[in-house]
Amino acid sequence: MTISSSLNAGVAGLNANATRLATISDNIANSSTYGYKRSQADFHSQVINGGAGLFSAGGVRTTTQRLIDERGPLISTSNPTDIAVNGRGMIPVTTAVSLDSSSGSLPMMLMTTGSFRPDSDGILTTETGLVLMGWPANIDGTMPTYPRDTVDGLEPVQVNVNQFAGDPTTAMSLAVNLPATETVAGAVGITQDLSIEYFGNLGTSETLNVSFAPAVPATGSSNTWTMTISDSASGGATVGQYTLVFDSSRANGGTLQSVTAISGGAYNAATGAVAITVAGGPLELTIGTIGEPSGMTQLSDSFAPVSIEKNGSPVGNLTAVEIDPNGFVNAIYDIGFTRTIYQIPLVDVPNPNGLISLNSQSYQVSPESGSFFLWDAGDGPTGEVLGFSREESATDVAAELTALIQTQRAYSSNAKVIQTVDEMLQETTNIKR
């Protein structure tokens, strides 16, 4: 009966608007929740064919979805491990409870923002028990290759503040001017000595002793020196010896003309470096390229160390961590050097709105979202990782209040339909009287 279908349609309208009201109330309640994604209720008509000349009201049904691909505005904070994603992609997290499990791989969940702070074990965790995940770096701060379609390489990001670390010296650049007057006939031929501090694998202070012995000819000028390098950590043993010949032409006077290895690693003419091996391992010593005035020179009558540069530092105490836009977690030590300890990848799926919504603004991959891929931040479709930042709620309170008014009116109208059908049925009942 058509009048009965009207009653059913009115009831369906009440239920549909009640569902819409639930999404609106959830959005408004979370208008101050960091990283909250707005929910939306969509209405769909239902058609029931009653046959020729007959119409039956089918009513309405609703579907709801969370608009995870919508992003709220970003704000700055004072905590370096407050993280927000600027653009596409989500950061991987897991639960603190799962860390105590020995069942294998940790479950991966996704977030677009989070406020992480070290717990008692130094693991970066939110107040709701979500743990930041990342790829661990090598001891020297370089990143190994990890699989991109699995969570096997990910582990909890752990920052042990007040831990000690050393930064050994692996490269050194030396620019010294040698006196040209020492390689001419009749010169005294004074050997020039230079001591350079470097840092060993255990953060100890070591010394490279470099001596330059001129070759004094019987006549004319040899423009030739013998460079001998000894290492204090190796008991003063010679780790490299080289013959340096300088150009005396008008065009390139005073610059290196040739470098010949007597002992130690070969001279690389492209980079201007010699490879020596000290007690702690290989060390690259750059002395300059052929014909360039920026390295070793032989000019005038003075011995002058022009420039000595080296990497490495003594033992330092970790005092802070920061996260750069590429997702690298950098440890900062009190002696001034920094080292990469983790990289936070960004997770992307084909359909973000198909993710399963969980508590605390976290999400989980589902068949509807598609399979995930781990990207370097800023690579492919993904955006960048911002430290000192949080993402605010995606709720627009003004729009929600407007929708609330519309929903209230629609609900009242459907209630009016039910009331009208009831009055009509009452009239039908009164026919018998």
Q: Report the distance separating Cα 272 and Cα 285, nearest Å.
A: 9
Q: Report the distance separating Cα 148 and Cα 373, nearest Å.
A: 6
- Which residue, 105, 151, 157, is CA-closest to 130? 157
Q: Report the distance separating Cα 108 and Cα 93, nearest Å.
A: 6
Q: Is the distance from CB of 19 to CB of 64 less than 8 angstroms?
A: yes
Q: Is the distance from CB of 223 to CB of 240 less than 8 angstroms?
A: no
Give 10-residue mean pLDDT values along the chain (433 residues). 77 92 95 95 84 74 92 94 95 91 80 94 93 92 92 91 77 96 94 94 91 96 97 95 96 95 95 94 95 93 93 83 94 84 96 94 95 94 95 95 94 90 82 72
Q: Is the distance from CB of 300 to CB of 177 less than 8 angstroms?
A: yes
pLDDT of residue 162: 64
pLDDT of residue 46: 82
pLDDT digits (tens, 9 = 90+) for 215-239: 999 999 999 999 999 999 999 999 9
Cα distances (Å, whole numbers) of residue 49 to 2, 4, 45, 54, 379: 11, 15, 13, 8, 53
pLDDT of residue 317: 80
pTM: 0.72
**Fold that domain 169-311 belongs to in CATH:** Tick-borne Encephalitis virus Glycoprotein; domain 1 (2.60.98)
Q: Is 178 helix (H, G, I), strand (E, B) or coil?
A: strand
Any idea which residue has 């208008």 for tokens? Answer: 31
pLDDT of residue 52: 65
pLDDT of residue 397: 95
- Which residue, 31, 23, 22, 19, is CA-closest to 398? 31
The CA-based angle 164-119-152, given to 5 degrees, is: 85
Q: Is the distance from CB of 413 to CB of 12 less than 8 angstroms?
A: no
Q: Is 189 helix (H, G, I), strand (E, B) or coil?
A: coil
Q: Report the distance separating Cα 357 and Cα 369, nearest Å.
A: 11
